[in-house]
Structure 1
Amino acid sequence: MPEIPDLNIFRKNLARRLVGKTLSTMHVIITRRLKTPEAEFKNILEGQTLMGIERTGKELHFLFKNGHRLGLHLMLYGAMHWYEDKNENRFTIAELVFNDGTGLAITDWQKAVILTLDPEPATIPDALDLSSGYLNTALLKISRPIKTVLTDGKTVRGIGNAYVDEILYEAKISPFSEANKIPEDKIEVLTKAIKTVLTNAEYHILKNFPDTITEKERDFLQVHRPKQSKTLAGEEILKAEINKRQTYYTEAQQLFK
C-alpha cells in the first residue's frame, strides 16, 4: 500500500505536471465503489482547471477551480500511470484526460481503489502533523496493541503496515505493547520516530525515484523485510500476526503490558 512517503512524492510529481491544466474528460470504468454517480463526477469536474493537489492521510485530493475536490485512495494495490492518446494499462479503474492530452490512468487489480467527490474534512491528525503531547493524551484510554492503534486511522492518519513496523523498531517499542501502558517518555520517543522514519523514507525514495507516481522498492526498510531473516543491522527479525497484519520486529523492542 502506498503510504505517506510515497504519496508525498506522488503529489509533487502529479502537481508539477497537471496543476494549471483543465480536466477534459473523466471516465470511471469500474464504478462499484463510487458513492456518487459517475455522471455527477463528470458534470462537476470536467472543464475545470486543476488548482492544486494535497495529501491528507493516505488520500490524495485534487482541488479544482470551482471549489470541488476529487479524493483518491489507492488502497492496497492501486497505482497511477501516465499515458497519451490511448490507455493500455490493465485493470484500469478510471481515466483522467487533461486539455493538453496528458492522461492519468488509475489501476487496481483488486478493484478496491476509492474515488470520492468532495470528501469530508478529516478530524484525526495526520502522522506528520502531530502536536506536542497529542499521543500522550490520545493513548491514555486505549488498551489495544500499539501497532493496531497507529494503523487503524482512529488516532493517527496515514500510517500503514510497513511503516508502523519501522516506526516501532526505531522507537524500540514492541508492536504488542498496550498503548496505555507505554510510559510518557517512550511516547515522546515514539512521536519523534514517526516523523523521523517517514521523512527519511521520503528522502530515500525521492533520491532514487524522483519522478515516480507508482510505489517503488522498499529494500531500504530496516525491519519490515518479508523476504529476509535479518534487519539491515544484522538483528534477527521476529514475525507474527497482529489483527490479521503480518508484523516484523526484534527482541530488543520493549514490551509494555
Structure 2
Amino acid sequence: MPELPDLEIFSRNLHRRLSGRQLKEITVRNSKKLNVPVTELKETLESQKLTSVSRTGKELYFGFENGAVLGLHLMLKGELHLFTDGDSRKHTIVELVFKDGTHFSLTDFQGMARATLNPEADHTPDALSEAINQEFFKRIFASRKATVKNVLLDQHIIRGIGNAYADEILWEAGISPFSAANKIPEAKLRDLAKAVRHVLENAVKQISKADPTIISGELRDFLRIHTTKKTHSPSGVPILIDKTGARKTYYTQEQEIFN
C-alpha cells in the first residue's frame, strides 16, 4: 500500500506531467464508491483545465480551474497509470483523457480505490504539518490508553502514517510500539515528533532519488526496520516481528516500553 512519502512523490510528478492540460473526458468504470452521480462529475470537470495535483493525508487532490477538486484514494491495491495508446487498463475505477491525448487512470483489482468530487474538508492534521510537535502528542496521548502504534495509525488523529512508517518512526524515537500512549514521558514525545518529520521527509528524498518519475507502486529498500531483507537494526540488534491479524509490527529490544 502506498504511504505518505510515496504519495508525496506521485503528486509532484503528476503535477509536473499533467498541470495545465485541459480535460476532454472523464470516464467512471466503477462508480460504487463515487460520492456523486457520474453525470455530475462529468458536467463539473470535463473541458476544465487541471491546475494542480497535491497530496493531503493519504489522498491525491486534482484541482481544476473552476475550483473543483477530484480526490483519489488508492486504498490497499490502487495503482496509477499514464499512457497515450488509448486502451483502458484493466480494473479501471476512473479514467481521465486530456485533449492532447494523454490518458490517466486509477485502477484497483479489488475495486476498493475511490474517487470523490470535492472531498469534505478534513481538519485532522497531516503528518508533515507544523502542527505535529511535542505539544500535539502531549495533548492527544493524555487520555489514550491504546498502544502508541495504533494511535499513530488512526487517520482521525493524524493523517498519512501507515504501518511501515509507524514502525520506522517508533524505532527512531526509541519507543516500543506496544507502549501505552498515555504513559510515554514528555521527553520521548519530543523524540517522537522529531522522528515523524525526519523519517517521512527522508523517505521522500530516498524515493525521489531511486525513481525520480515514479507515479505508482512503492519503494521500501531503504527502510531500516520494517523490512524482510534485514535481520538486524543498523545498530546490530535483531529485528523482531509481531503479527496481529493481517498487520505485522517490526521492532527491536532497543525500543523502550512504557506501560
CA distance in 1 between counterparts of 2:167 and 2:202 reads 15
Of 133-142 and 190-199, more deviation after overlay is shown by: 133-142
Residue 143 of structure 1: SS of its match in structure 2?
coil
Corresponding residue for residue 141 of structure 1 = 143
Corresponding residue for residue 121 of structure 2 = 121
Q: Structure 1's 234 and 88: CA in aligned 2 closer, same or farther, altered over 3 A?
A: farther
The alpha-carbon deviation at position 40 of structure 1 amounts to 1.3
User: Is residue 2:54 matched to residue 1:41?
Assistant: no
CA distance in 1 between counterparts of 2:27 and 2:10 reads 21
CA distance in 1 between counterparts of 2:122 and 2:218 reads 27
The alpha-carbon deviation at position 256 of structure 1 amounts to 0.6
CA distance in 2 between counterparts of 1:236 and 1:111 reads 38
The alpha-carbon deviation at position 217 of structure 1 amounts to 2.6
CA distance in 2 between counterparts of 1:232 and 1:87 reads 46
Corresponding residue for residue 23 of structure 1 = 23
CA distance in 2 between counterparts of 1:166 and 1:72 reads 26
The alpha-carbon deviation at position 143 of structure 1 amounts to 0.8
Structure 2: gaps (5+ residues): none
CA distance in 1 between counterparts of 2:36 and 2:62 reads 16
* Contact in 1 for aligned 2:2/2:218 (Cα 8 Å): no
Corresponding residue for residue 157 of structure 2 = 155
Structure 1: 4+ residue segments shifted above 4 A: none
The alpha-carbon deviation at position 226 of structure 1 amounts to 3.4
Q: Give 2:193's match in structure 1, choosing from 175, 191, 194.
A: 191
The amino acid across from 2:195 in the alignment is: A
Structure 1: gaps (5+ residues): none
How many residues of Structure 1 are paired with residues of Structure 2 in the alignment?
A: 257
CA distance in 1 between counterparts of 2:47 and 2:139 reads 46
Residue 9 of structure 1: SS of its match in structure 2?
helix
Residue 165 of structure 1: SS of its match in structure 2?
helix
Task: Give the TM-score taking structure 2 as reference length.
Answer: 0.95
**What are the within-5 Å matches in structure 2 for residues 1-257 of structure 1?**
1-131=1-131, 132=133, 133-226=135-228, 228-242=230-244, 244-257=246-259
Of 83-92 and 211-220, more deviation after overlay is shown by: 83-92
Residue 20 of structure 1: SS of its match in structure 2?
coil
What is the CA RMSD across the aligned residues, in angstroms? 1.4
The amino acid across from 1:146 in the alignment is: V
* Contact in 2 for aligned 1:148/1:243 (Cα 8 Å): no
The amino acid across from 1:186 in the alignment is: K
The alpha-carbon deviation at position 31 of structure 1 amounts to 1.4
Deviations 1:100-150 (A, max 9, x none): 111112111111101101001111100001424111111111110111100
CA distance in 1 between counterparts of 2:250 and 2:72 reads 29
CA distance in 1 between counterparts of 2:57 and 2:81 reads 21
The alpha-carbon deviation at position 88 of structure 1 amounts to 4.7
Q: Structure 1's 213 and 252: CA in aligned 2 closer, same or farther, altered over 3 A?
A: same
* Contact in 1 for aligned 2:28/2:38 (Cα 8 Å): yes
The alpha-carbon deviation at position 17 of structure 1 amounts to 1.1
Task: Give the TM-score taking structure 1 as reference length.
Answer: 0.96
The alpha-carbon deviation at position 85 of structure 1 amounts to 3.1
